[in-house]
Structure 1
Amino acid sequence: MLLLVGLGNPGKQYEFTRHNVGFVVADTVARDFDFPEFSSKYDALVSVGNVGLHRAMIVKPATFMNRSGAAVLKAASMHKIPAEQITVFHDDADLQHGVVKVKQGGGNAGHNGLRSIDAAIGCQYWRVRLGVGRPDVGSLSGHVLSDFHDFDSVQQLAHKISANLTELLDGNVNGFISKIRCDHAQ
């Protein structure tokens, strides 16, 4: 089984914020692949289904961002899922809005959710970095905790990620990124 983790903060007040773009992708994948309704488990909202030929558990930690690692560790430990079979979808202020990059391992670039996951399971999991840009003025925390100006474009990108997710899960990272870029340009 694969673990697909969408990062975000719980609560309606954070629903449309940049920091919750991982939740948006997780919800979109769950809908697009007809996963059952999310249930509370492992300090998270969890749903298990299939993404193409891949059995997957989608996890949305119910803790705040800086404690996401606890939920990931619980789910991964219970199902004996190694870090290499975990993919985390998260906001990245170092990328322009709408840019998507994928990598395995590496640093957390100051992202508190990734820092928490690194401490819990190590850093060899896959990361799908979802660009939210940096503010021209003001604090970074204020920026990521503020709402997107164009939430429709975020939903469109989440659908493109979902539509091409089997490429990524099959191990074709370049094909996945190529299709996202091609689709995003249209």
Structure 2
Amino acid sequence: MIIIIGLGNPGLEYRKTYHNIGFRCVDKLAESLGVTFKHKYCNAKAAEYYLNGEKIVIAKPQTYMNLSGDSVKQLAAKFKAQNSEILIVYDDIDLPFGSIRIRSEGSAGTHNGMKSIVANMGKNIPRLRAGIGRGPEDVPLFSYVLSRVSKDKALQEDKLTDTVCAAINYYIETKCDIEKVGQRFNEKGE
């Protein structure tokens, strides 16, 4: 059992925002696998498939970002999944746009969705952070993350979501071996 959870906000108005990169990554992953988000449970939209006899669930919580932990906790309970069998995919302003980091545990940093998850599940939950960089200094953080990805970054975002999908596929292939995935995909010089 592996559960891949992309974070974002539901609703068309958020679809192309920096904060919804987690949703766009798992959307691209599902599309590449030929699966759809046809299931609705645990306050999430979900796609399911099997790989070599192992069930894989791809989920998008519909609780809005700041309450993501509620849905993640329900998903873990429904599938009797340990934290080590869950991977959270989300945006990170502290990473340069286009870079990724995968870790087995850690603090939530400035991310309210991860704060909710850590409050519900603890710090020892694997996560893949997709770098969205920081906005202009004169733009408040919440305004930047809820703004649409700029046209000049659209091509970079395509590459970023491709890299995230490759990292997730490798994570599944290696049976959740964070160290191997990190060696292959983490940017150097953190």
TM-score under structure 2 normalisation? 0.87
Question: Could you tell me which residue of structure 1 aligns to residue 149 of structure 2?
Answer: 148
Counterparts of 1:169-180 in structure 2, within 5 Å, are: 169=172, 170=174, 171-173=176-178, 175-177=180-182, 179-180=184-185
Cα deviation, residue 119, structure 1: 1.3
C-alpha distance in 2 between matches for 1:87 and 1:65: 16
Q: Paired residue for 1:166, among 157, 165, 169?
A: 169
Gaps of 5+ in 1: none
State, as a whole percentage, how many aligned pairs show the same letter. 29
Q: What letter matches 1:109 in structure 2?
A: G
Indicate the residue corresponding to 2:103 in structure 1. 103
Matches within 5 A, 1:57-136: 57-136=57-136
Alignment CA distance shift 1:83-1:177 (3 Å): closer
> Counterpart amino acid of 2:159?
Q
Q: Give the distance between the partners of 2:88 and 2:23, measured in 1 at CA.
A: 10
The answer to whether the 8 A contact 2:99-2:160 is kept is no
SS of alignment partner, residue 70 of structure 1: helix
Deviation at 1:157, TM superposition (A): 2.0
Q: Distance in 2 between matches of 1:174 and 1:99?
A: 17
**Which residue does 2:23 correspond to in 1?**
23
Q: Secondary structure at the match of 2:5?
A: strand
Question: Using a 3 Å threshold, how does the CA distance of structure 1 residues 25 and 52 change in structure 2: closer, same or farther?
Answer: farther
Letter in structure 1 aligned against 2:88:
V
Paired residues of 1:51 and 1:166 also in contact (CA < 8 A): no
Q: Say if 1:37 and 1:109 are closer, same or farther in 2 by CA, change over 3 A.
A: closer
Q: Which amino acid aligns with 2:162?
A: H
Unpaired stretches in structure 2, ≥5 consecutive residues: none
Q: How many aligned positions are there?
A: 182
TM-score (norm 1): 0.89
